[in-house]
Chain A
Amino acid sequence: MRSYIAIVAVLAAVLAVSGARAVPAATDFSCPSSVASDFDGMEWTPGSGDISGVRAPIEMRFDGLVCGGGPEEAFASSWIAIESSAGNSITQIGFLHFFNSVLGTGEFCRVWAIDGGAAHTYGCNQQTNHTIVYFEIVRFTDPSTHAILYDILDCGTAGGYGNCASENSTQGAYSSAFSPVAAETDYGQSACTVRIMGSTTDAQKFGTSSFPIEGTLGTSSWQTRSYNGTLIPTCSHYGNTFKSFRMWTWDDRNS
Chain B
Amino acid sequence: MTLARKRVIAGAVVLGMLLAGLFVARLARTPAQASTTNGDVTTTIAIDSVVGETFAPPPSSAQTSLTAQDAWAQYAALAGSSVTTIPSTVTVQLGLLTLPVGPASAPGTSGLTTSNGEAYTALNELAYGYSWHSCPVIMLPGASVSPGNPCIEWLFLDANTGQQIDETWQQ
Interface residues, chain A, CB within 8 Å of chain B?
Answer: 1, 4, 7-8, 11-12, 14-15, 18-22, 24, 26, 35, 37, 39, 71-73, 75, 77, 79, 83, 87-90, 92, 96, 98, 100-105, 107, 109, 111, 113-126, 138, 140, 142-145, 147, 149, 151, 153, 164-170, 180, 184, 186
Residues A118 and B135 in contact, CB atoms below 8 Å apart: no
Digit string of B71-86 for contact with A (CB within 8 Å is 1, else 0)? 0000110111111000
Residues B105 and A103 in contact, CB atoms below 8 Å apart: no
Bound state CA distance, A147 and B78, in angstroms? 40
Residues A105 and B102 in contact, CB atoms below 8 Å apart: no
Digit string of B96-107 for contact with A (CB within 8 Å is 1, else 0)? 000011110111
Residues A168 and B101 in contact, CB atoms below 8 Å apart: yes
Residues B117 and A116 in contact, CB atoms below 8 Å apart: no
**Top 7 A-B pairs, shortest CB-CB distance:** A117-B140, A20-B25, A169-B102, A166-B108, A72-B135, A169-B106, A103-B81
Contacts of B51 in A (CB 8 A): 114, 120, 168, 170
| Residue in contact with A104 in the complex, picked from B14, B81, B164, CB distance below 8 Å | B81
Contacts of A79 in B (CB 8 A): 139
Nearest B residue to A124, CB-CB: B164
Q: Can you list 27 A-B pairs with a CB-CB distance of less than 8 A?
A: A8-B14, A15-B18, A18-B22, A20-B29, A39-B141, A71-B135, A73-B135, A73-B153, A79-B139, A83-B140, A98-B137, A102-B132, A104-B83, A105-B80, A120-B48, A120-B167, A121-B167, A121-B168, A123-B164, A126-B164, A144-B117, A151-B107, A166-B102, A169-B108, A170-B50, A170-B101, A170-B102
Contacts of B66 in A (CB 8 A): none
Digit string of B122-141 for contact with A (CB within 8 Å is 1, else 0)? 00000000101011111111
Contacts of B48 in A (CB 8 A): 118, 120
Residues B119 and A166 in contact, CB atoms below 8 Å apart: yes
CB distance from B6 to the nearest CB of A (A): 10
| Residue in contact with B109 in the complex, picked from A21, A105, A166, CB distance below 8 Å | A166
| Residue in contact with B108 in the complex, picked from A89, A92, A111, A153, CB distance below 8 Å | A153
